[in-house]
Structure 1
Amino acid sequence: MDELTKNEKLGDLYAYYGSLLTAGQQSYFEDYYYNDLSLGEIADNHGVSRQAVYDNLRRSSKALENYEAKLHMQKDYNQIEDVIADALFAIDNDHNSTAKKELTKLLNQMRGE
């Protein structure tokens, strides 16, 4: 998995499970992945070593992956979204406008649109 894909995956998992991390883990994670700070910058800001930041980020990433492995929230959401999209496609071919409107509304809500 390339670095961008890994970072995107971790960002997605953080959206689901970030609140389960400690405040410190959240701060380091957001600084590194969202605010694009280097390990050295984060270390300076928190008064710790670069190694401590690296270890914290590694533990946080592992925790996020473990939450998904056990809870499947992201996987389940994606499956539901796929089923709705497939249903919309089928309805689109049947031209049933009422059902299509309701499913489109639901899918857009799930996507935050």
Structure 2
Amino acid sequence: MKNQAYRMALLYDFYGDMLTDRQKEFYDLYYNEDLSLAEIAENYGITRQGVRDVIVRAEAILTELEDKTGIIKRFHKMQDQFSQMEEAVAVIAHRNETRWQDDEVETQCGKLHAILTQLKQE
């Protein structure tokens, strides 16, 4: 269940702007605020089925966008690649510290580490 909630949160984070205001609101209340369909329906004066239809439609839109673009998949792949690059920079920095003691290598490793840290946060 947590995996599904995480997936839905990612889909919303990446593609939520493509939803209507009503879809965004219901989706947020259901997945982020953890309100039940019945609670949302009561608050908005509509049926539980009406709320479910809006949320299911929003899920379908978000899923379809990811299926077509693959942005989240690429995002995860890039995060893995950034981690691998950080590990390689750490190995080079360690080798430089223990063997070469080259100030330029140390400087460049520091720059690479800073760039990778920034990229992972964006």
TM-score range, shorter chain: 0.7 to 0.9
- How far apart are the structure 2 equivalents of 1:103 and 1:52? 51
- How far apart are the structure 1 equivalents of 2:50 and 2:117? 41
The equivalent position to 1:25 in structure 2, one of 18, 23, 41, is 23
**AA in 2 matched with 1:102:** K
Secondary structure, aligned partner of 1:48: coil
TM norm structure 1: 0.86
TM norm structure 2: 0.80
Q: Which ranges of structure 1 fall in alignment gaps of 5 or more residues?
A: none
Query: Could you list the per-position Cα deviations for residues 49-96 of structure 1 after superposition, in whole angstroms to 9, with x for gaps in the alignment?
Result: 001111111111111111111111111111112111111111211115
Identity %: 31
Structure 2 residue aligned with 1:60: 58
Moved over 6 A (4+): none
Structure 2 residue aligned with 1:80: 78
Residue 112, structure 1, aligned to residue 110, structure 2: no
Query: How many residues align structurally?
Result: 111
- How far apart are the structure 2 equivalents of 1:80 and 1:24? 33
Contact 2:92/2:109 (8 A) holds in 1: no
Q: Which ranges of structure 2 fall in alignment gaps of 5 or more residues?
A: 94-104
Of structures 1 and 2, the larger Rg is shown by: 2
**AA in 2 matched with 1:112:** Q
